[in-house]
Structure 1
Amino acid sequence: MSANAKLYAGVKLREIRTRLKLTQADYAAKLGISLSYLSQMENNHRPVSAGVVLALAQELGADVTELAAGSTERMVADIREALADPVFGTAPPLGDIQLLASNAPNLARSFLTLHRELRETQERLAQVNEALGREDAALAPLPWEEVRDFFHYCDNYIDAVDRAAEHFAARLGDGERRSALARWLETRHGITVATAADAPLRRFDPEARHLALAAHSAGATQTFQILHQIALIEHDDLLEATLDLARFRTEAARAICKTGLANYFAGAALLPYAQFLGRAQELRHDLEALAGAFDASIEQVGQRLSTLQRTGAKGVPFFFVRVDQAGTITKRHSATRLQFARFGGGCPLWNVHQAFETPGRFLRQLAETPDGARYLCLARDVSKPGGGFRAPVRRYAIGLGCEIAHAGALVYADDLDLKNAAAYQPIGVSCRICERRDCHQRAVPPLERPVTVDPNSRDVLPYRIG
């Protein structure tokens, strides 16, 4: 948020008051303001003043970072992208969308759910058309987006699971973790762990009490898979309780999310919150150094950095994304104002798409989005061999970044000219909601701008954006 931006956070103010079990009158008294002033702020008729923010921290011990946690901006980005669907025609002004996200977040979430239902219905109709010609065709549910949104709106931080994983890591102690984890399973559960050339990444036989791991997997991957299995065995009640709270519509979504929660536990146990946060700050977020310090992969480190959103002990707010060679986003999360395209491809000017061209190297990029926010972006390719000559190699690129205000905490910013406006590459989220008129990589026109076509003139684009 820019220094001159006004902070409208009425919903968060009410949430803090409700959590503290205070009446409006008591709340106003503790904040040192009138009841009418509090009412105006809670209804977003007035911005939250600096004095109120200070009183929240000093008098009530509230985590004031909640006020600007970015959930409203995240929702605005999601609504704008949903409204870019041609079914809606002309989108409402940005100010109206911001009011909806700030004043009626539940209504905004309902709209996003309705739009997702519309897209799923359209895809199911397409499947019906295909199924008419095939007796074995079935209508497949679309649970991935529901699970993705669950993590998205939790800030990709699940407190109960994170703390359970941190507690488990502390009980495990120091030493070579893969061997220690194998002993843990054998001692406490009678489960043997071994690698096998023909095994998938992880295969557990509950009858034989045997866990097989792929012999060709990297050590960090094997450790992660053992931790995943421990999450399912020792913390199943916690995972199921979290799933109950999520209230997924389908069993498929619930099953997918359970895998995601077990993965979350594994990552949090591999990189325990407080220990990892302290080391990251000490090493200035050097991904390679952190990977070596925790015997983890660079991808595991990058993704973990994006989850450090614990109340009262937040890390640098990062975004994290993983894309394949076709540009499809396979993992994404943002604790920053930068939001990724929910539908369709991302911006081709972003350096994550160039990482495939420079294997084994970190790419750095200073980038600016249409809203004027500036970021330090890192990108690197990630290859996952299949373990044999004819085995397929999975190739991805990962992207990690933060707003320039936090760049000083990263070793990657040391020799960059952060104050030079010309050093920043203009990027967007997706073409349909990007307002830039002169982008040479634009694929489709922006939804909210008129387009004119001159048959006697042609530039890089075959039309002009009004």
Structure 2
Amino acid sequence: MAIGKLYIGRKVRDLRQENRATQAQFAERIGISISYLNQIENNQRPVSAAVLLALAEKFKIDLSELSGGEGDRLISALSEALTDPLFDSYSPSLQELKLVAQNAPGIAHALIAAHQAYRHNSEQLASIDDTLGRGAGLTENTPYEEVRDFFHFVDNYIHELDTMAEKLAEEIGIGDNDPSAVLSAYLERQHGVRIVRNVSDDDIIRSYDHQARVLMLNAYLPAPTRDFQIALQIAQLHAGELVDQIASNAGFRTREAYEVCRIGLHNYFAGALILPYRRFMDTARDVRHDLDLLSARFGASLEQVCHRLSTLQRPGMKGVPIFFARLDRAGNITKRHSAAKLQFARFGAACPLWNAHQAFEMPGRINRQLAETPDGARYLCLSMQVSKGGRGFRQSQQHHALALGCEVSYADNFVYADDMDLGNRAAFDPIGISCRICERTKCASRAMPPLKGRLVIDHEKRAVLPYGLKEN
């Protein structure tokens, strides 16, 4: 897969300043001229392969930290915002987007926030909602969306929490013994909290009595869910101060967003405790990301395993760049993260040609797909249906599709790719990100025209779609 020119001036400048070096000192250390370094830092010239290797050798950094990370996600979000008809007279090039994201990320985030506020207001006006005129709150992100973006732009990896959870997992023996027994014993020994099973028929999963130091868990929970809830209680007691500090430093606009973030951070710690970073990543490599084996090895659910794989972004120790999403039957993406080039749309439903939707048709199996996006990037995509909820005839269950994958250049790390024809371009299904921004002009599964697409109407002919799209 071809790698485009890298303009990473801001990252190089930050690296130089972290090492308290002048341009002359830094240039001499990596073997280039001061003028070349100055051009790199001002994004006037791309970084060559030789300079990248010198940076990695001299400063012991992971090349993927320079070339990937937040930049790809920020470019994707910025590009999607600028496809809005509001900006119909302006179509930025990829190079322009890269320069803004890398040189002025604060401006990029501000534009994305402004566009999201504009969309919220437009949607309210379009639906003639009764809440019109109640104030500026209509144009702000919801607390949930604000927290979602927080996790998205920190690469879904919280270093302080992850390392704290890993240290605790090592101390109490997670991975060597039955997780339920280990977690329960630690909770009672260290925090004086007893676990009681609730056999009532209500839908309460967990309930903690702070005064009595009693954690009540639904007796019908599957083992992975029960263990996660115990780990969550440990997170609140063991990492509570750190969670509060991280949530406070995030600068959320409302108390609601702050509290939602605390929930997310507690959940993050719980997942990192049950699936400790190094042990989990090494095992994933050993079993070649066989999801069933990882689930059995750590006593975790498939969703817990998939989610954790998408968080393996520790600097200097990154796992395979993976995208992960959870969808409901209506196609709503209720969880999303991508460490890969593929980025999920912030608005609208996912592409109907993506195999994530097929998971509901074939429960109980892992579905595979080779897919190619309009930019020519190719992916190995996996999907499966999972169910959660109460047990018993009268208890409702929720069904979701999990989607997981990587760029095809990493497919050899997955057991699922062994018998697939990765070298045959014809084996890859054409998919998009979302119909509203997809560039494909001849897709029979298109739900709506692209926002910036120019329609071609022929009243004498009718194809699968009632309109054509003008080729750029």
* TM-score past 0.5 threshold: yes
Q: TM-score, normalised by structure 1?
A: 0.95
For 1:397, give the aligned amino acid.
A
The residue that corresponds to 1:433 in the other structure is: 437
Shift of 1:140: 10
The residue that corresponds to 1:264 in the other structure is: 268
C-alpha contact (below 8 Å) 1:80/1:433 kept by paired residues: no
Larger mean CA deviation between 36-45 and 293-302 belongs to 36-45
d(CA) in 1 for partners of 2:20, 2:313 = 24
Shift of 1:119: 3.3
d(CA) in 1 for partners of 2:11, 2:140 = 38
The residue that corresponds to 2:12 in the other structure is: 13
Going from structure 1 to structure 2, the CA distance change for 1:140 and 1:12 (only over 3 Å counts) comes to closer
Task: Say yes or no: does 1:444 pair with 2:448.
Answer: yes
For 1:163, give the aligned amino acid.
T
% identity of equivalent residues? 50
Where do residues 21-420 of structure 1 align in structure 2 (5 Å cutoff)? 21-95=20-94, 96-122=96-122, 129-131=129-131, 142-173=142-173, 174-198=176-200, 200-420=204-424
4+ residue runs over 3 A deviation: 84-91, 119-129, 131-134, 138-141
Shift of 1:247: 0.9
Unaligned stretches of 5+ residues in structure 1: none
Shift of 1:81: 1.6
Shift of 1:122: 4.7
For the residue of structure 2 that corresponds to 1:361, the secondary structure is coil
For the residue of structure 2 that corresponds to 1:5, the secondary structure is coil
Shift of 1:103: 2.7
Deviations 1:15-70 (A, max 9, x none): 22222222222111111111110111112211101111111111122222112114
d(CA) in 2 for partners of 1:291, 1:451 = 48
C-alpha contact (below 8 Å) 1:306/1:318 kept by paired residues: yes
d(CA) in 2 for partners of 1:350, 1:143 = 29
Task: Say yes or no: does 1:455 pair with 2:459.
Answer: yes
Unaligned stretches of 5+ residues in structure 2: none
Shift of 1:409: 0.8
For 2:76, give the aligned amino acid.
A
C-alpha contact (below 8 Å) 1:195/1:215 kept by paired residues: yes
d(CA) in 1 for partners of 2:447, 2:345 = 14
Shift of 1:344: 1.1
Shift of 1:341: 1.1
Shift of 1:132: 8.0
Q: TM-score, normalised by structure 2?
A: 0.93
Going from structure 1 to structure 2, the CA distance change for 1:181 and 1:133 (only over 3 Å counts) comes to same
d(CA) in 1 for partners of 2:320, 2:363 = 27
Going from structure 1 to structure 2, the CA distance change for 1:226 and 1:107 (only over 3 Å counts) comes to same
d(CA) in 2 for partners of 1:129, 1:60 = 56
Larger mean CA deviation between 138-147 and 294-303 belongs to 138-147
d(CA) in 1 for partners of 2:139, 2:456 = 41
Shift of 1:139: 11
Larger mean CA deviation between 256-265 and 9-18 belongs to 9-18
Shift of 1:88: 3.5
d(CA) in 2 for partners of 1:250, 1:7 = 37
For 2:426, give the aligned amino acid.
A
Alignment root-mean-square deviation, CA: 2.1
For 1:237, give the aligned amino acid.
E
Shift of 1:121: 4.2
Shift of 1:82: 1.7
Larger mean CA deviation between 236-245 and 447-456 belongs to 447-456
For the residue of structure 2 that corresponds to 1:379, the secondary structure is strand
Shift of 1:370: 0.6
d(CA) in 2 for partners of 1:422, 1:369 = 13
Larger mean CA deviation between 304-313 and 448-457 belongs to 448-457
Going from structure 1 to structure 2, the CA distance change for 1:195 and 1:85 (only over 3 Å counts) comes to farther
Going from structure 1 to structure 2, the CA distance change for 1:132 and 1:330 (only over 3 Å counts) comes to closer
The residue that corresponds to 1:423 in the other structure is: 427
The aligned length equals: 462
